[in-house]
Structure 1
Amino acid sequence: MIAYVTVGADDIEQAKRFYSAFLPALGYSMTQGSEGLSFALPVPPGEAPVHPDFYVKPTFNGQPASAGNGTMVAFEATDQAQVQDLHAAALAAGGTDEGQPGFRATYGPRFYVSYLRDPQGNKIALFSSNPNDPSRDD
């Protein structure tokens, strides 16, 4: 099980604007401390987390943050409309488009996805596989 994912950021306030544009809508709460941003989904008392936390932090070694080549973090939305809404919100909050919301020919008929880059260049996917939404074959 993945416990957490961390991406680096040189400008925490810029990263905060970007990630706060869509992660709260997916149920994540944010805390900010001296070491950056922490986003977590709620965990019922007495239960262990089942989804990874997501952290945005300055680099440990003090060097500039950089995006990994081939690295991507994906967040699941509830439906296709939420993918569209959150993609637009993330762009308005300083992200750049890497692929508009839609179906991709190489993925399953219900995998609806959009791709973005955060202000630091980290690649982010927002997706839904909701069986109640139309498929690309409908």
Structure 2
Amino acid sequence: MFTHITVGANDVEASRKFYDAALGALGMESASGPDPKGRYWWRTARGAFAVGKPIDGEPACHANGGTIGFHAKTPEMVQAFHDAGVAAGGTAIEDPPGERNGAFGTLNLAYLRDPSGNKVCALYRAG
């Protein structure tokens, strides 16, 4: 459904460091960039994710109620995403990483805020 997602950052280098660590724990390569607009990109065969200063020149802010979920191949990768993200300047939020049972079945999740306050998670779904 999505081709790419871009989030704003006031400190692009802090955000690049955070995402290189957290997404690296999910098996993604380090970001490419910066591009001519100062954005860093993480690319996969299924889509791309970018971080950079807002093009309109206004301060970056996070979406209240928004979450960006990244696929994890194993439950261990969910924990690694959490640990790497916290070590690289992210903030742990919500319940600790682990299994959740609900309307969507059993999921393994970890939620973080990046250095700019964007809410991200790693998700592993068995099956």
* TM-score, normalised via structure 2 length: 0.88
SS at match of 2:111: strand
Which residue is 2:40 aligned to?
A: 37
**Alpha-carbon shift at residue 101 of structure 1 (Å):** 0.8
Q: In the alignment, which residue of structure 1 is the partner of 2:78?
A: 83
User: Among residues 113, 120, 126, which one is paired with 2:116 in the alignment?
Assistant: 120
* Equivalent position of 2:50 in the other structure: 55
Q: Give the gaps of 5 or more residues in structure 2.
A: none
Q: Which has the larger radius of gyration?
A: 1
- Residue type at the aligned position of 2:69: A
- Counterparts of 1:10 and 1:36 in 2: how far apart (Å)? 12
CA drift of 1:17 comes to 0.9
**1:5-31 per-position Cα deviation (integer Å, ceiling 9, x unaligned):** 000001111001100002134343320
- Aligned with 1:26: secondary structure? coil
Instruction: Report if aligned partners of 1:72, 1:123 keep a CA contact under 8 Å in 2.
Output: yes
Residues 88/96 of structure 1: CA separation in 2 closer, same or farther (3 Å cut): same
- Once the two structures are superposed, the pairs formed by residues 1-138 of structure 1 within 5 Å of their partners are 1-29=1-29, 30-33=31-34, 34=36, 35-41=38-44, 43=45, 51-99=46-94, 100-131=96-127
Inter-CA distance 122–55: structure 2 relative to 1 (3 Å threshold): same
1: CA distance, partners of 2:85 / 2:50: 17
Cα contact 1:103–1:109 (8 A) shared by 2: no
SS of residue paired to 2:97? strand
Residue 107 (structure 1) shift: 4.4
Aligned-residue sequence identity (percent) comes to 35
